[in-house]
Amino acid sequence: MRVLGAGLLAHGELPALDREIVIARVTARCGCRYEWGVHAAVFAPVVGLTPEQVEATVSGDPAHPAWSVRHRALIAAVDELHDTATVSGDAWAALAGHYPEKQLLELLVLAGWYRTIAYVANGIGLEEESWAAPYPDR
């Protein structure tokens, strides 16, 4: 597991900010407090996610004012993937206006990978780290 995860974090094509938005949104939608809290504490500040944006990954919809047009398209696509395991033509077109094809494919792998991580963390009942960001109340 570590090899794929490290590859996505350190060698991916997506901008780091966008990568962390995907990870935070996927883990939030899966209710994975453990992984969401770790990324919110460690990676979000490094890539420039604001506290408002971090909170919006849990409680906001894609139209939340904290997001740029690009990030609204990203979050909408992640939500569609979560809800339907696919991305509609309209959502794909919105993404394609901001990302080249190899980043679009990486986005799909990244979202799927962190859904898998959420399943593992939730399935074994990993407790939140004491140093991690607290999961916002909805």
Q: For the chain, how long is the longest CA-to-CA vector?
A: 41
pLDDT for 16 beyond 60: yes
pLDDT for 138 beyond 60: no
pLDDT for 84 beyond 90: yes
Topology adopted by domain 21-123: AhpD-like (1.20.1290)
Q: pLDDT band for position 137 (50/70/90)? A: confident
pLDDT for 3 beyond 60: no
Instruction: Fill in the DSSP letter of residue 85.
Output: S
Domain residue extents for the chain:
21-123
Q: Tens of pLDDT along 86-112?
A: 999 999 999 999 999 999 999 999 999
Backbone φ and ψ of 127, nearest 5°? -80, 150
Q: pLDDT band for position 60 (50/70/90)? A: confident
Instruction: Please return the burial class of 23, using the count of CB atoms within 10 Å of its CB with bins 0-12, 13-18 and 19+.
Output: buried
Instruction: Please return the burial class of 10, using the count of CB atoms within 10 Å of its CB with bins 0-12, 13-18 and 19+.
Output: exposed
3-10 contact pairs (CB < 8 A, 24+): 4/113, 5/113, 5/117, 8/106, 8/109, 8/110, 8/113
